[in-house]
Amino acid sequence: MNAQARLPSEGRINPVDAARSQRIRQGILEAGNALRARHPWLEKHQNAIGMAIFWTSIAGILGNAWAYYTGVMSWWIAIPVAAFFMSLLHELEHDLIHMMYFRKNKFWNDFMLAGVWLFRPSTISPWVRRRLHIHHHKVSGTESDLEERGITNGEKWGIRRLLMTGDNMLAIYLRPFATYRMTRAFIREVAKNKTEAHAIARENVLGYFPLGLINYTLWHGFLVYHAGLFAASALGMDVTVPAILQNVMHAVSFYAVAIAAPNALRTFCLHFVSSNMHYYGDVEKGNIVQQCQVWTTPWAIPLHLFCFNFAGTHAFHHFVVRDPFYVRQWLAPGLYPLMRENGIRFNDFGTFGRANRMSAVAPAQA
């Protein structure tokens, strides 16, 4: 147990936080072991639990789409309901990336990854994300952490960041040079040679192919189409839409309500929470104590409904990777005192004005 409770990076950071990190990790491991001892089914049936969440979420999304299609459910109900089920698939994807389900059966692990991507097509390929996420654990809070930098972590708050938070394509289009720099930083740290660097660069370029490109084409087309009709109406213009275009947009509108809009809602909530509960810039490399804060504030509950209390539990995952998302949620309340006692910040909303730095910086640096 003691060997497990120490991370390699703890020997390279300041001794105070190294000791804190070890105590937190030890506490999480012990709490998880005690929980599994009381409920052995958690470990015995972990694959089955993951698969049950997988099919339940997909059934919820499809049933919700059918209810909207048949007129049983209004769009303003259908969108958040679908977003909730998609948020479960996101948590499942994250745990699949860490091989928490079907570790010894690549077919079923890949099958589930394909399924969660199919119903969350606004995201990057989960196989591409696996490399990004593993690197995130090593360098969280630094320039080469492409996973978090890609969702606006470290950017100054304003209209541009707000637009980028809920739309992965806008996060690229609205800052092309910054995206290029952070991608180069990521490849420099990950690639072992030029051949691998070229392969990783190509992998990243194709990360949204094909599902992401299809999704954003339909979603942005939907938004532009309806914005155009609204503008024309506001200006008193009489616009005649060809019948064939009306038929196409009818289908696109159904897709928007069933898949695209729920994903946009889920994405905004997750990225808003994640990009602000992770610190950036003045973080000591490898210092897990400095990487994240914890949110327990009631005002974050509406956001957490669509990202499974992410800011309330994600910091635990940085210390101990092994626990599935539902176990982290189960353990979290009992572990909050341990986190506080060992320097983890809670509800540090000053980070919004500091571009996610731990301490105040000059605007030019942000």
Q: Look at residue 360 in the predicted model and tell me its pLDDT.
A: 73
To the nearest whole percent, how much of the chain has pLDDT over 70? 95
Is the confidence at residue 194, as pLDDT, over 80?
yes
Is the confidence at residue 363, as pLDDT, over 60?
no
What is the gyration radius of the CA atoms in the chain, in angstroms?
A: 22
Return the domain boundaries, the chain.
Answer: 8-232+248-365
Distances (CA, A) of 195 to 198, 201, 215: 5, 10, 31
State pLDDT tens for residues 203-232.
Answer: 999 999 999 999 999 999 999 999 999 999
Mean pLDDT for the stretch of residues 64-76? 98
C-beta of residue 152 within 8 angstroms of C-beta of residue 272: no
Per-residue b/e over 61-99, b at no fewer than 16 CB within 10 Å? beebbeebeeeebeeeebbbbbbbbbbbbbbbbbbbbbe
- pTM for this model (two decimals): 0.94
State pLDDT tens for residues 4-52.
Answer: 445 555 558 999 999 999 999 999 999 999 999 999 999 999 999 999 9
Confidence band for 272, pLDDT divided at 50, 70 and 90: very high
Average pLDDT, the chain: 95
To the nearest whole percent, how much of the chain has pLDDT over 90? 94
